[in-house]
Amino acid sequence: MWDPAIAGQVLAALFFVTILVVLMFGYIVAWTLGGLAVMFGLLGWWIGAFDPALFQGLASRFFGVITNPVLIAVPLFIFMGVVLERSKIAEVLLTTMGQLFGSIRGGLGISVVIVGTLLAASTGVVGATVVAMGLLALPAMMRAGYDPKLATGVICAAGTLGQIVPPSTVLIFVADILQGANAAAQLAKGNFAPDTVSVGDLFAGAFIPGIGLAVIYALWVIFRAAVDPKCAPALVMTAEERAGLGRRVVVALIPPLALIVAVLGSIIAGVATPTESASVGSMGALLLAIIKLLADRYLKGHSPADLEKNLFFFWIGFLALIGVIVWLGGAFGLLTMLLVMIVAAMVPVVASAELRRDFFETLFESSKGTMTITSMVFVILLGASAFALVFTRMGGEDLVRGFLATMPGGQTGAVMLVMTIMFVLGFFLDTFEIIFITVPITAPILIMMNVDPILLGVLIGLVLQTSFLTPPFGFALFYLRGVAPPSITTSMIYRGIVPFVIMQVMVVMLVWAQPKLATGLPNYLFRQSEAQKKNGAPPPAFNSDQPESDGG
């Protein structure tokens, strides 16, 4: 007669492998996770390793997921990004930045990185960013004589920065999982008052690595242009394109920058939670969309030069007004001003049948896109909840813990193994599939091994970004392939992303070797004030049970 505990662990391992194999064949993720969970749960019941009564708790788990206040930020951030994409603000930004940097060697590539970073910090929608830059930047780079591999590589890499640069929906889900994992791990270690891991902590932790990754991308383009000038030549600009360029740059930059400051600034300043800041970002994106509609209507009766001049003075006045309102009324005054401006801007929109039709069309399409993306993510999350329940209750967690504990290199070896597994899974699975399958299983064990949860979350975000770039199923590659001309072959795109994947792996290793790149900013912003309240002294960079020498 077999031992139910050992049989359960064997069945849990078989369950995990079966999930990966079935997903690689392209079956629907949510139904694969949920359906196989039921099948293996019943099989575990038959061998005495699983209690089927545990399935009764799935309903409350599902309800808890749907009503989680932290996860409310996900559809709001998605809505913000879709509205900005529909209003074509990204197109204006990309065209203007291309003209600003295009006159230098590698300038178009640098502009793609800058725009990708700004869109990542204001939208976080990878598909929209890659498609927009593929439609606008790729033809311009080809006309300028860029190496197709460099052009496609930098577009795909810059487009995926939304996975790590806040506000990232990936980081929101990772933070939610790590919060529970950290609480369970600390309780198991006897720490009954652990520091919480919030979305704000992970946003702050990912900020420096995310911006650093963008800087490395830009330096690579500069290096390639210096070594081989023919692969990234300068853009030949006409006198008409140079005229008023400074004014156009201001007009293109202020809208996304204002939105970034409103969203991330409110989180970092501690005046709003990520969910509250997401609502601010959604309202701000609607305001920008309305202003764009009014500007397009104004253009029908005036020249582009007049429009640029008027928008220039409008945005300068807008920034000055924001500064005065924040100085006098703080965050509450800023939110009040935003609502007043939206109501005021809606007056001419409602009064015009054409503007009203365009606005509600944008609003409908943005809401529809948000609903589609959000439903997909949350259905996968519900299926993953069933998977996690069956896997852990059959002894899978004990199996993984024992496997990681025996890895050579201790903490470092365990972390590198988990990151390697996630990296390899990125060749075949989507980001959210990897999160919901691997993070709930491995995160509690790694935290028990004294890995800082913020550092772990940032490392996970960096590794998961590669899942959008690595063939054969990198979604950024598919997005670009769909809009690239026939002269750009799939092999060119695949070869173009290789150096950028290598750069991402190097950044992962750098962050592990220098943990303060991830933990320094959140400790300074959020932990310092808490520690000062407790004992009047600033906290160390790491908890006392998380030695810096081990990289955790």
SS3 content of the chain, % helix, strand, coil (to 5): 80, 0, 20
**Which two three-digit tokens encode residue 252?**
């293109």
**Is residue 501, in this structure, part of any structural domain at all?**
yes
- Backbone φ and ψ for 480, nearest 5 degrees, come out as -70, -40
Which ranges in 300-409 belong to alpha helices (H)?
304-351, 353-393, 396-405
Which residue range is the domain that position 468 belongs to?
87-237+418-552
Please tell me the predicted confidence (pLDDT) of residue 305: 76
d(CA 211, CA 191): 34
**Which two three-digit tokens encode residue 491?**
């092999």
**Which two three-digit tokens encode residue 8?**
């359960």
Q: Answer yes or no: are the C-beta atoms of 127 and 78 closer than 8 Å.
A: no
DSSP string computed for 124-139: --HHHHHHHHHHHHHH
d(CA 157, CA 465): 9
In Å, how far are 13, 237, 239, 352, 404 from 243, measured between CA atoms? 65, 10, 6, 33, 61
**Is residue 51, in this structure, part of any structural domain at all?**
no
In Å, how far are 116, 133, 216, 362 from 257, measured between CA atoms? 13, 19, 21, 22
Q: What is the pLDDT along the chain (552 residues), one digit of tens a residue?
A: 567 778 888 888 888 888 878 877 767 777 888 888 888 888 888 888 888 888 887 888 778 777 777 778 888 888 887 887 777 777 778 778 877 887 788 888 898 898 888 888 776 666 667 877 787 788 888 888 888 899 999 998 988 888 888 878 888 888 888 888 888 888 877 776 777 788 888 888 999 999 999 999 999 999 999 898 888 888 777 676 677 777 888 888 888 888 887 777 777 766 777 777 788 788 888 888 888 888 877 766 677 777 778 888 888 888 888 778 777 776 677 777 777 888 888 888 888 888 888 888 888 888 888 888 788 778 877 887 788 788 888 887 777 777 777 777 778 888 998 898 888 888 777 787 788 888 888 888 898 888 899 999 999 999 988 877 887 667 788 778 877 888 888 888 888 899 999 999 999 999 999 999 998 888 887 765 554 544 544 444 434 334 333 333
Instruction: Look at the block and give the residue holding tokens 């998961």.
Output: 464
Nearest alpha carbon to residue 61 among 389, 443, 374, 438: 389
**Is residue 290, in this structure, part of any structural domain at all?**
no
Please tell me the predicted confidence (pLDDT) of residue 216: 94
**Is residue 135, in this structure, part of any structural domain at all?**
yes
User: In this structure, how many other beta carbons lie within 10 angstroms of the beta carbon of residue 224?
Assistant: 22
Please tell me the predicted confidence (pLDDT) of residue 457: 92
Task: Report DSSP state, residue 406.
Answer: T
Please tell me the predicted confidence (pLDDT) of residue 540: 42
**Is residue 407, in this structure, part of any structural domain at all?**
no
**Is residue 315, in this structure, part of any structural domain at all?**
no
**Is residue 379, in this structure, part of any structural domain at all?**
no
In Å, how far are 64, 140, 464 from 152, measured between CA atoms? 42, 12, 20
Please tell me the predicted confidence (pLDDT) of residue 350: 80
Instruction: Look at the block and give the residue holding tokens 């949510």.
Output: 30
How many secondary structure helices (H) and strands (E) does the chain include?
A: 23, 0
**Which two three-digit tokens encode residue 278?**
């997401």
d(CA 394, CA 511): 35
**Is residue 318, in this structure, part of any structural domain at all?**
no
**Which two three-digit tokens encode residue 10?**
């064997």
Instruction: Look at the block and give the residue holding tokens 């000062």.
Output: 532
**Which two three-digit tokens encode residue 432?**
């959210």
Number of domains in the chain: 1
d(CA 278, CA 268): 13
Please tell me the predicted confidence (pLDDT) of residue 212: 93
Please tell me the predicted confidence (pLDDT) of residue 213: 93
